[in-house]
Amino acid sequence: MLLNIISKKNTRAVLELLRENEEMYFSEIQRELDMNLGSLNRILNELMTLNILDKRKDSEDVALPKAYYFVTDYGEKVVELYDLEKDLEKESKIINQTNIKGNVKNVVNMGDNATVNLK
């Protein structure tokens, strides 16, 4: 279930935005990502159900207290899956680039661009 939810459209953007800003309220997230209100609400609720996000309400003394969303400690670990995905994709590119005919002398990883030197 976890992978299904974090692989849904816009979920990564929501998590990365909250990770960068520590906490934000609904309209800030919606404005920053220019998302449909219903879609954003669904994503936030799904992430809270899995304890990836939580929220705190602003002072109860106001008529309409704002709810601030933030990434939980568990959510920080989940967001690291996106980092792991990036690392694995880079590694996969290097491996795929060595699947050529001939002897590979060395591969220099330069981010998304790798240099292959043949003997």
Residue 28 has a pLDDT of 94
Q: What is the extent of the structural domain holding 82?
A: 2-118
Q: For the domain that residue 67 is a member of, what is the CATH number?
A: 1.10.10.10
Q: DSSP label at 59?
A: -
Residue 84 has a pLDDT of 81
The number of residues making up the chain comes to: 119
Residue 32 has a pLDDT of 95
Residue 109 has a pLDDT of 59
**Burial of 52 from C-beta contacts in 10 A (0-12 / 13-18 / 19+):** buried
- Tokens (6 digits) for 105: 């002398």
Residue 105 has a pLDDT of 59
| Greatest Cα pair distance in the chain | 73
Residue 79 has a pLDDT of 85
Residue 97 has a pLDDT of 65
Phi, psi of 29 (to 5 degrees): -65, -45
Residue 101 has a pLDDT of 55
d(CA 30, CA 15): 13
Structural domains in the chain (count): 1
d(CA 29, CA 68): 10
Q: Which residue stretches of the chain have pLDDT < 50?
A: none
Residue 115 has a pLDDT of 55
Mean pLDDT of the chain: 81
Residue 95 has a pLDDT of 67
